[in-house]
Structures are given as structure tokens and as C-alpha cells.
Structure 1
Amino acid sequence: MDATRADQQPLPGQLRPAGTDGIDQIQADIAAALRSTIVLPPYDEVLRLIDTLKRHLGPLVEQAKGHVQEHRPGEVAWYREHVQIDNAQIQLRSGPGDGLVSAAHRLQRLARSVQQLHRQIHHDQGA
């Protein structure tokens, strides 16, 4: 029996192949990380999302490094992209913290970093 399209869809937090589905997945993971709730998510979910967003962020940093070469030092875009790349590299090196609250805050900083680089790259590509 052939698998249906729904059976082939990744679970939330799993990476999809590059392309439109990959962009949709990145946006879904950012939204999940930035959800505003009174109750903190389970620690395991926070750690899973941190790992997932780091897997998104690594390739985005490499793409951004290529884009920064398109601008001259001193231009606002050059400076902005360098700041975003530096912040993203800090996020990639940082751990989750000592507990659930620090991990949840860390997750949100990581999600914002992914969001900023993702927007910058796709804006530069005319998407």
C-alpha cells in the first residue's frame, strides 16, 4: 500500500528538505519557540526546539556570511549583517542555561536570531 502525503510529512520540529517546505518549517519552528504562554513548555520540548533551531541557524549563518560580502564596510547593511552574524554565532555556542526558565529565555533569543537572519537572507534574495 502506498504511503499518503500526510504519512510523509515530518513531525513538528523535524527538518524538511530545502525549498518551500523548508521555509514553512523554519517559520513553524520560530512560531512554536516564540509562543506566548503563561505556563512554560515542558523542559524536553524546550531542549528539542533549541536543538532544532540551531540546526536551522547554522546554514543561515553560512548564507549570511556570503551575503555580507555584497556590501562595503561602513554601509549600514554591512554593519547590520555583521551584528546579526555575530549574534547568531553566540547563539550557536550558548547552552540552554541552568533550568527551565533560563532555557525558555534562551530558546526565544535563539528563535529571534533565526528569524532575523532568515528575513535578511530572503529579503536580499527578493523573496
Structure 2
Amino acid sequence: MDATRADQQPLPGQLRPSGTDGIDQIQADIAAALRSTIVLPPYDEVLRLIDTLKGHLGPLIEQAEEHVQEHRPGEVAWYREHAQIDNAQFQLRAGPGDGLVSAARRLQSLARSVQQMLRQIHHEQGA
């Protein structure tokens, strides 16, 4: 960012100079913020993906539980793996929520949980 541009831009939370130019900029910033939207997939697609990921997660949890028995309670790996399994079991039981946004968030959490289980199993198999 060049010096002249930096001098003109206020820091976050700092007001711009008063006058028409300042108000125009504020309105332009508001319009830009309202224009930006997050595109979510259709609700039916989100629900289908949730069901699909839950179908993957159940067997992954079983495999992870078999691997965690190879460690002794008290070992760092045992605690870490148990925490990941507990989280995965929670994700498996949780519903989609009340609407599209909550279902999309649940889908993302579920996907991260499946990803963690895959990493845990592949890490154990590679070790």
C-alpha cells in the first residue's frame, strides 16, 4: 500500500473525515457489505451430505476405537485419540439443526470430524 493511500484510509473503528466524501464512502462500504452473500447449497443436498458423511463416520469411529486400544491410558496419544473419538460420536448423534444455515454448519463440522478420523486411522496404520 503506498503512503498516500495509507494516509487516506482510517484504521478500523476510526471515523472518516466528515463531509460528503466521508458519507459517500461509508454508504459505499455498507452497500458492498450488503451485496456480499454466502451461497449455500440447497437444503436437500446438505441433508443428503450429512447422511452420507454419517455413513462414513460410523465405521471410522469403530476403526479408531480399535486403534486406541493399542495405547495405554495416560499416554498423550490415548487422550488425543479419545477426544477425537468423543467428538466424532457427538457429530454422529447431532441433528442438522433448525434451518439451512445450522445444517450447513453441522455439515462442515461433520466433514472435519470425518477428516480427523481418517487422519487418525491413517496415522496409526502408517506408524
Q: Structure 2 length normalisation: TM-score?
A: 0.69
The amino acid that maps onto 1:68 is V
The amino acid that maps onto 1:126 is G
Aligned-pair CA distance for 1:123: 1.2
Query: Distance between the aligned counterparts of 2:76 and 2:112, measured in 1?
Result: 20
Aligned-pair CA distance for 1:67: 0.5
SS in 2 for 1:125: helix
SS in 2 for 1:54: helix
2:71 aligns to what? 71
1:117 aligns to what? 117
Report the identity percentage. Answer: 87
1:83 aligns to what? 83
1:33 aligns to what? none
2:14 aligns to what? none
| Count of matched residue pairs | 91
Aligned-pair CA distance for 1:38: 2.4
Q: Which runs of 4+ in 1 moved over 2 A?
A: none
The amino acid that maps onto 2:58 is G
2:19 aligns to what? none
1:3 aligns to what? none
Q: Unmatched 5+ residue regions in structure 2?
A: 1-36
Aligned-pair CA distance for 1:54: 0.2
Aligned-pair CA distance for 1:117: 0.6
1:16 aligns to what? none
Query: Distance between the aligned counterparts of 2:108 and 2:75, measured in 1?
Result: 29
SS in 1 for 2:111: helix
Q: Structure 1 length normalisation: TM-score?
A: 0.69
Query: Distance between the aligned counterparts of 2:44 and 2:66, measured in 1?
Result: 34
The amino acid that maps onto 1:87 is N
1:39 aligns to what? 39
Q: Which is greater in Rg?
A: 2
Q: Unmatched 5+ residue regions in structure 1?
A: 1-36
1:88-118 C-alpha deviation (Å, 9 max, x unpaired): 1111111100000000000000000000010
